[in-house]
Amino acid sequence: MLTIYGVYRSRASRVYWMAEELGLAFQSVPVLQARRLAEPLSAEAPLNTHSPDFIAVNPMAQIPSIRDGNFVMHESLAINLYLARKHGGPLSGQTVEEDGLLTMWTVWAASQVEPLTVKIVLTYDNGLENSEGGQQTIAVSCRSLRRPLAVLENHLAGRQWIVGDRFTVADLNLAEVLRYAQTEEALFQAHPNIKAWIERCQSRPAYKAMQAARAKEPIEV
């Protein structure tokens, strides 16, 4: 059985969504981010990214990780590409060319988009969105997103999905990266193709199942 290490309120959310899309049975092992705990190495601390038991799984001390049989893997977006390729179906590439495009858009999301969107979400997570520094961080990130979002907006003109004529792992990975910026409604209002596309992604039953599980997790520890 597939084991997913990580809480839903983390990048593990995208792996949980993927497992739901594929209809996979999985075991969830909640692993908290150490930064959320005052003393992550104390004997009373819940399992977290600095816990020796988790370090044995992922020496990089980051979530998510998976164990699939005897195979262990890290990095959420790469995990999803692996799961799509292993289990096949419409979420995976149907040709070598499609497989290349799924990888291309996923790497693009990780390199060109997520470094900016994660600054936005962390500003809110740290309660700094109304501070002068926080507002500056959000503003700079939004300005920097203009070019990559313009590329995606143009790509989605006349298309429902990123690759081919169906929802794929590329849509899931990119939608999760962009979710970090959805607090900034003006960004999406300015890009109607992206706004409609992410609404399609987030209307899927598997996404809603992931979000329902995420909502049950406490925000504070």
The CATH number linked to 42 is 3.40.30.10
Considering Cα of 82, then 83, then 87, then 91, what sign does the dihedral take?
A: negative
Q: Is residue 213 part of a domain?
A: no
Q: Is residue 64 part of a domain?
A: yes
- The pair phi, psi for residue 25, each rounded to 5°, is -75, 135
Q: Are 187 and 144 in contact (CB under 8 A)?
A: no
Residues 55 and 137 in one domain: no
Distance, CA of 186 to CA of 137 (rounded, Å): 16
Residues 60 and 104 in one domain: no
* Average pLDDT of the chain to the nearest whole number: 97
Q: Are 146 and 85 in contact (CB under 8 A)?
A: no
Q: Position 15: which residue type?
A: V
Q: What is the pLDDT of residue 219?
A: 86
For the stretch 157-203, pLDDT in tens is 999 999 999 999 999 999 999 999 999 999 999 999 999 999 999 99
Q: What is the mean pLDDT of each run of 10 residues along the chain (221 residues)?
A: 97 98 98 96 96 98 98 98 97 98 98 98 96 98 98 98 97 98 97 98 98 94 74
Domain hosting 168: range is 96-206
Q: What is the pLDDT of residue 134?
A: 98
Residues 35 and 123 in one domain: no
Kind plus residue range of the DSSP H or E element containing 73: strand 71-74
pTM higher than 0.85, yes or no?
Answer: yes
Q: How many domains does the chain contain in total? A: 2
Residues 123 and 202 in one domain: yes
Residues 101 and 200 in one domain: yes
Residues 79 and 108 in one domain: no
Residues 158 and 131 in one domain: yes
Distance, CA of 200 to CA of 110 (rounded, Å): 21
For 36, 53, 63, 107, the CA distances from 58, given in Å and listed in that order, are 18, 9, 8, 21
Q: What is the pLDDT of residue 220?
A: 80
Which one of 34, 52, 87 terminates a domain? 87
Residues 107 and 200 in one domain: yes
Rounded-to-10 torsion of CA 53, 84, 206, 156: 130
Q: What is the pLDDT of residue 9?
A: 97
Residues 195 and 101 in one domain: yes
Residues 180 and 157 in one domain: yes
Distance, CA of 168 to CA of 201 (rounded, Å): 10
26 bridge partner residues: 2
Which one of 87, 110, 128 terminates a domain? 87
4: which 2 tokens? 């997913």
Q: Is residue 217 part of a domain?
A: no
Residues 104 and 36 in one domain: no
75: which 2 tokens? 């990095």
The pLDDT > 70 percentage for the chain reads 100
Q: Is residue 124 part of a domain?
A: yes
Residues 74 and 110 in one domain: no
Q: Is residue 211 part of a domain?
A: no
Helix boundaries (H) for the chain = 12-22, 52-55, 76-87, 96-108, 114-125, 132-155, 169-179, 185-189, 192-202, 205-215
Q: Is residue 221 part of a domain?
A: no
> CATH no. for residue 106?
1.20.1050.10
The crossing angle, in degrees rounded to 10, of helices 192-202 and 205-215 is 80
Which one of 87, 106, 133 terminates a domain? 87
Q: Is residue 10 part of a domain?
A: yes
